[in-house]
Structure 1
Amino acid sequence: MVSATKVEGEYSFLSKNSHLDQSEGVKTHLYHFGAEHGNDDLKSTACPEQGPSLLDTILLSQWDNFAWKGHLDYDVTACQLKVIEGGINFVGQLNNKWNSFSLKEYDKLFESFRCSKPNSMKSYEGLLLCVAQGENDRPEVAPSASPPKDGLLLIANAYPVEYGHIFLVPAAVNQLSCYWDKRMFGLATKIASEVNNAAFRVFFDSRTHVVSDHMFFQACYFPNPLPVECASTVVVYEYGGNARSDIIVSETVGYPLKAIVFTSNNLKALVNVVSEICFSLHDNTTAYSLLISNNGTKVFLFPQVKNLVIGCSLSTWECGGYFIYHTKFEFDNASETEISKRMASVSLQDSAFEDLKHLCCAIAHDLVK
């Protein structure tokens, strides 16, 4: 467990009688972001030379403690990995225990504070901390507090895809009825920035939302860049009239799954543009996945069509080039050709992708001024 008393000077800790939107029965670490004061730029409170950020330290310490107590179904760090031969360098993981259906309906464990939780969270131990926006200049941490309704719960996944795998779940039931909550997306993006660790990525899969009828994100730590992050890109739109409102829209080149990449150091601009596009995709019943990387400054959008052969779209980590195999035979025989064909089978047709690019550019032009 992280001891709040070990952090000195730069961070303050809320007193137990601090005003919160209280919910009964549940206590956890509460991390409040520092106030923005009108500055939307994505900047972490930690510098690389100063070591890990406070949020990164708390998150990993809590997750390691959850694993040490035996709540994980397996040690994902012991799973065999390999880079699949070819120019794209897809990554394969051999894991016969991974459960792709670990995200199901939310049970009664969190009904005491009107929240849901994935069935792969076996106990309160899985609730690592809650993150919410704060009002003071610096981040604040309360070692034992009731989660506010406007926060995101960080919950350990007992079936991790990679080290530190968590769910990011809205803390109030009124946020679970929405298809897309722009403020929640903004919090998830800010978490990626505040963690300030290049290995940390956040995911969203629209197809999973349809299955569970709840909006949530996932995140974990990948030790190396994902193949899509190394893919070449070409800029299709760039707005730089204002240093604090710049955004770049690009598309991947030479990658078997068509993807659009949004890059900006401005949180508000990035969240507004991507959210508006997600609303449009939902209205058009287009499945998609999002990958938030590069400390929250880059968002990959993977639009997909349903493949009648495989029966569903790809998960975000598969879109990024990271695949899990349940048998040694599948793992040993994984090939770039097979993966590329699978990706291409769910990729948009050229005409539909061109239409989406034009839509993205139009939305960026209208919203980022």
Structure 2
Amino acid sequence: MVSATEFKGEYSVSSKNPPPDQSEGVKTHLYRIGAEHGDDTPKSFACADQDSPSLLDTLILSQWEDFAWKGHLGYDVTACNLKVIEGGWNFVVQLNDKWNSCFFKEYDKFLGPVECSKPNCMDNYNELLLCIAQGDNDTHEVVPSTTPPNDGLLLIANAYPVEYGHIFLVPSATNQLSLFWDKRMFNLITRIASGVNSASFRVFFDSCASTMPDHMFFQACYFANPLPVESASTVAIYDGKATSGIHVYEIIDYPMKALVFTSNNLNMLSSVVSEVSLTLHGNNTAHSLLISNNGTKVFLFPQVKNLATGCCLSALECGGYFVYHTEFDFDRASEAEISNRMASVALQDGAFENLKRMCFAVADDHVR
């Protein structure tokens, strides 16, 4: 059961919950995002005091820390050994012998309706921190201890985190599309990133790992410092019309090819990136996404599977953050070794040029 948490600030707290003896099943906090208006720029969701944590940031971290305090984490991620690889890109490597990228398979119970028939089943959902859904009111609303709506987004603690506050973001049953995900879900994800309003908060998506039959999920966590790719040089390759505010950049002098989409218009950014991702999915092109800068910047990493391993890199690895399971590999990690791993999944020049043209066409279509 999610702990009772007291929240203070300028927001609405609903008291419309049914009494405990009238409703059985899973209960969690529900955060309703305020209704969209106009172009939905991030300033609509930022907290008034930029030096203070936002309500959503406080809610996520308080629930995650409560989960950790109760002893549900597999280890203390803050105690894991970290180092920066000397060189031009300052790759970050972590030594963690317990981490496994497939741990979400243990939480397949969240890929269907979140429900139970007996009150004592609550212990089976300790990882469920809260639910986020689109609200109808202009203001944000927190509904304590309520049944998650079927059209919400579940925030689930990763018991084997890579960084502080590591969570899965899983669309509820009615938001799970039969083939992939759409603008609506990606828009909710970017609005969450905007609502958290923290430069440390990043959201990730991996098309290879995050999609199962009829299901998908995102991940997010907090980083104390920018990821290496965020410090890489870029060159502008698309300047959208004034009505769209969409800009596309190409990462240069980096071991793998990548694009960056930026806009203060979250609706437009969501529409363009979601359609690009859907097109790549339809073409069976593996890709990863990194969402940063309060939801206004999206990195796209198209990939081919490594011929030797048959695998792709995760969004974290594309961003320059690698986890090693043994001290031997951790000590031997080098810029050359990591660069070769990244280059092994990079698109060829011709395929990358075709991808850029597709992105330009999608962006143009959304401003007509």
Does the aligned pair in 2 maintain the 1:170–1:176 contact within 8 Å?
A: no
Partner in structure 2 of residue 3 of structure 1 = 5
User: Quick one: structure 1 residues 363 and 310, their matched pair in 2 at CA, closer, same or farther if it must change by over 3 Å?
Assistant: same
Aligned residues of 1:257 and 1:344 also touching (Cα < 8 A): yes
Moved more, 33-42 or 156-165: 33-42
Deviations 1:143-165 (A, max 9, x none): 11111111100000011111100
Cα deviation per residue 1:241-286 (whole Å; 9 max; x = unaligned)?
A: 23xx211011100011100100001011101111111121112110
SS of aligned partner of 1:203? strand
Q: CA deviation at 1:184?
A: 1.2
Determine the C-alpha separation between the residues in 2 that align with 1:3 and 1:122: 18
Query: Structure 1 residues 340, 212: closer, same or farther in 2, change over 3 A?
Result: farther
- After superposition, residues 54-133 of structure 1 pair within 5 angstroms as 54-104=55-105, 106-108=107-109, 113=114, 123-133=124-134
- Encode CA deviations 1:19-78: one digit per residue, 9 max, x unaligned: xxxx96111000011111334212233145450000000100000010011101011111
Partner of 2:38: 38
Residue identity matched to 1:27 = K
Do the aligned partners of 1:95 and 1:327 also contact (CA within 8 Å) in 2?
A: yes
Describe the SS at the equivalent of 1:197.
coil
Contact between 2:210 and 2:218, CA under 8 Å: does it hold in 1? no
Unaligned runs of 5+ in 1: 116-120
Q: Give the letter for the 2:124 counterpart.
A: S
C-alpha distance in structure 1 between counterparts of 2:227 and 2:301, whole Å: 14
In the alignment, does 2:260 pair up with 1:224?
A: no
Q: What CA distance in whole angstroms lies between the structure 2 residues aligned with 1:280 and 1:112?
A: 28
User: Which TM-score applies when normalising by structure 2?
Assistant: 0.91
Letter in 2 for 1:26: V
Task: Compute the displacement of 1:111 (Å).
Answer: 5.8
Asked if the contact 1:178/1:215 (under 8 Å) is kept, the reply is no
Cα 1:3/1:101, change in 2 over 3 Å: closer
Q: Is the 8 A contact 2:157 2:168 kept in 1?
A: yes
Task: Answer yes or no: is the 8 Å Cα contact 1:29–1:129 preserved in 2.
Answer: yes
Partner of 2:274: 275
Does structure 1 residue 343 correspond to structure 2 residue 345? Answer: no
User: Is the 2:25–2:115 Cα contact (8 Å) retained in structure 1?
Assistant: no
Identity %: 67
Give the SS at the match of 1:123: helix
User: Residues 2 and 58 of structure 1 are in contact (CA less than 8 Å); yes or no, is this contact kept in structure 2?
Assistant: no
SS in 2 for 1:270: helix
Over the aligned positions, Cα root-mean-square deviation in angstroms equals 2.2
- Amino acid of the structure 1 residue aligned with 2:59: I
Partner of 1:238: 239
Q: Deviations over 1:170-208 (max 9, x none)?
A: 112562534123211111111100000011000110001
Matches within 5 A, 1:1-369: 1=3, 3-4=5-6, 6-8=7-9, 10-17=10-17, 25-43=25-43, 44-104=45-105, 106-108=107-109, 113=114, 123-173=124-174, 175-211=176-212, 213-242=214-243, 245-369=244-368
CA shift in 2, pair 1:83/1:238, >3 Å = same
Provide, for residues 87-107 of structure 1, a one-character-per-residue CA deviation record: whole Å limited to 9, x for no partner.
100000010111222122754
In 2, the alpha carbon distance for the partners of 1:134 and 1:72 equals 32
Contact 2:182 2:278 in 1 (8 A): no
After superposition, the Cα gap between the structure-2 partners of 1:143 and 1:217, relative to the gap in structure 1 and judged at 3 Å, is same
Change (3 A) 1:365 1:353: same
Report the secondary structure of 1:346's partner residue: coil
Contact 2:28 2:128 in 1 (8 A): yes
More displaced stretch, 40-49 vs 265-274: 40-49
- Runs of 4 or more off by more than 3 Å in structure 1? 47-50, 105-115, 209-213
Q: TM-score, normalised by structure 1?
A: 0.91
Quick one: distance in 1 between partners of 2:204 and 2:274? 14
* Unaligned residue ranges in structure 2 (runs of 5+): 117-121
| Distance 1:277-1:144 versus aligned 2 partners, 3 A rule | same
Q: Does the aligned pair in 1 maintain the 2:241–2:367 contact within 8 Å? A: no
